[in-house]
Structures are given as structure tokens and as C-alpha cells.
Amino acid sequence: MSCQHCCGANLQFDIDNANSDLKRYLKKGPKKMTKMLVDALKDENIENLSLLDIGGGIGPIPLELIPEGLQKVTDVDASQGYITVAKSEIDKRNHLNIVNFLHGDFVTISPDITHHDIVTLDKVICCYPHVDELLKTSLSKATKYYGLVYPQAHILSRIAVWALNLKLKLKKNPFRTFIHDPKFVHQTIRNAGFQKIYSNKTLLSWQVHLYKKEG
């Protein structure tokens, strides 16, 4: 991720948006696509496992899975506003002792991040220009499970992304969103030794997949 794109992410995902997302979460729970991924992980035995949540936002995945017995969580986000809000909510629930927050571009700071049993990217790869780098780097950190949510690659989603990017351009925000090839995404994950164990999608927008390390 370029510095310009990363700065744009901070503008796009500011603390006002983070507070709004947290308010919605506290009222309604995780969004549908996030709940699909969370429920798929809940169906596995994740007690005493560690989680690396990349682009964690306000933290719905760790908030939902810590009660299932996670031992350690690392939350990485390019938005300082979202980290501030997520950290506050984690603190309210007395979980700061097991959650570490890191601010920055995951690929750039990845050398300082250890391996985790579970790696999740919820609506993240669509925010990253160099998807090959993000996938390979994040896969290298996962020892058991790899879960992700990203856009379906059909004409309606492409129109939606085009419209959003046009809006961002008019606002002079360098942040952009992307539709990445699902076949490339899947094959990259398979090449890293993971087998898909769960797959689902929302009506029009998102696809949800959970992979498990073979062997």
C-alpha cells in the first residue's frame, strides 16, 4: 500500500465512521457477512488459539470470538480512528490483556508480527491495491485457519466500486477500492496449502470463505 493510499484510508475510515460502526454493532451485532465468517469459526475448535485480525475495524471478529476462548489477538488497522474506538470497547470488556493493537500497513509492518493460528481479513483485500502481496504476506502468518470476506466479482459490484472511486476522486481522497479476481485469490490460498472448508455469500455484494491448513 502506498503512503498516499494509506493516508487516504485514514481519511475514509475516520473516528466518526468508527463510532457510527460501533453504535450499529452494539445495537444489531456483526454485519451479515461478518457473522457468516464468525459463525464458521465458531463451528471449529478455536479454544486457546490466537487470532490475527487484519483491517479489524471496530473489532467485531475478536469481540465475538474472545468469549469462545481465544488466547491472544493481534488487531492491525491502517486507521488510527478505528483502532482508538476498538481499543476502547475491548477495554470496557476487560480484554486488553490478550489484545494487541498495531497501526499501519500490514504488509509493511508484517516482519514484526508473529504467526497466529487464525488470520482474518474482513472486507480488506478490496481496500488494497497489491492483492498478491497482501495475500501472500497474510497467508505466511496463518498456521491453522484463514478467513476472508471480499466483494463478488460481477457487473453490479464493479459498478458500485466505480461509483465509490469516482466519489473519492471528486473529494480528492487518494484511497481506492478494488475488485480482485476470485480465482486468483482462491488459487493463491490453495498454493499456500489451505483447503476451503466453508463458503457463503450475501445476496449481491459479498463472498465469505474459510480455509484450513492441510496436514
Give me the domains of the chain, ranges plus CATH numbers.
Answer: 3-213 (3.40.50.150)
What pLDDT score was predicted for residue 3?
A: 47
What pLDDT score was predicted for residue 175?
A: 76
What pLDDT score was predicted for residue 2?
A: 45
Distance CA 31, CA 35 (A): 6
Assess contact for 153 and 205: CB atoms under 8 A: no
Taking 50 as the pLDDT cut, the residues of the chain under it are 2-5
Residue 95 DSSP one-character state: -
Question: CA separation (Å) from 107 to 12, 83, 147?
Answer: 19, 17, 17
What pLDDT score was predicted for residue 72?
A: 97
Q: Which amino acid is at 36?
A: M
Distance CA 185, CA 159 (A): 21
What pLDDT score was predicted for residue 31?
A: 95
Distance CA 53, CA 72 (A): 11
Q: Residue 151 forms beta bridges with which residues? A: 206
Instruction: Please count the residues of the chain.
Output: 215
CA 77, chain centre distance (Å) = 9
Distance CA 210, CA 200 (A): 9
Distance CA 164, CA 177 (A): 8
pLDDT one-digit tens code per residue, 156-211 = 888 888 887 788 788 887 778 888 889 999 999 999 999 999 999 998 889 999 99
Distance CA 80, CA 102 (A): 9
Strand ranges of the sheet holding 206-213, from the earlier edge strand across to the other edge = 99-103, 72-77, 50-54, 116-122, 142-151, 206-213, 194-201
What pLDDT score was predicted for residue 12?
A: 59
- With CA atoms as reference, report the closest residue to 80 among 58, 50, 95: 58
